[in-house]
Amino acid sequence: MDALELLVNRRSASRLAEPAPAGEQLDNILRAGMRAPDHGTLQPWHFFVIEGQGRERFSQTLEQAATAAGQDEKGIEKARTSPFRAPLIIAVVAKCEEHHKVPLWEQLLSAGCAVMAMQMAALAQGFNGIWRTGPLTDSAVVRQAFDCREQDKIVGFLYLGTPQLKASTTVTVPDTTPFVTHF
């Protein structure tokens, strides 16, 4: 797939099924994440691949976090079932360090770029996904499960698999005018 076509026609897919990227496909996705812009070559990220029994462990973690947050039964059930929306999830944690040239916000953006690069690599190989966050990314229970230190931040959960619904082939070309100023 042409890189420019991929970027300007990108869409998230929330209904995902098997097969998920595996083997060389998954390696390509992770390598793409490692190529994110990275001032100071700090590599301020860590990727947690969640599949198979890992989805069950992630489900238990989210259920505990939702319970600790005082969510109602509907919220707890949503948390418990969310890891089963896709056959593969990659959790991305910004592993931030105090640095004299690279502020923490820039390290967070770099980890965010890694998520975008991984989603594009999945699309380029015929898969799709959706980048999810939510209030439980800041939960102490979830942060502990992903070995977050105080300065670290979970920047997202990239749900990946094969889209169940075919995306529309017509994409509305966005009007960039309200978002662009020539300085």
Q: Which residues are annotated as a binding site for FMN?
A: 10-12, 35, 39, 131-133
Our CA dihedral for 30, 154, 8, 159, rounded to 10 degrees, sits at 70
Inter-residue contact 101 to 42 (CB < 8 Å) = no
Count Cα atoms within 13 angstroms, Cβ side, for 122.
32
| CA 83 – CA 95 distance, rounded (Å) | 23
Q: Which residues are annotated as a binding site?
A: 10-12, 35, 39, 131-133
Say which residues have a Cβ less than 8 Å from residue 43's Cβ, sequence separation at least 6: 34
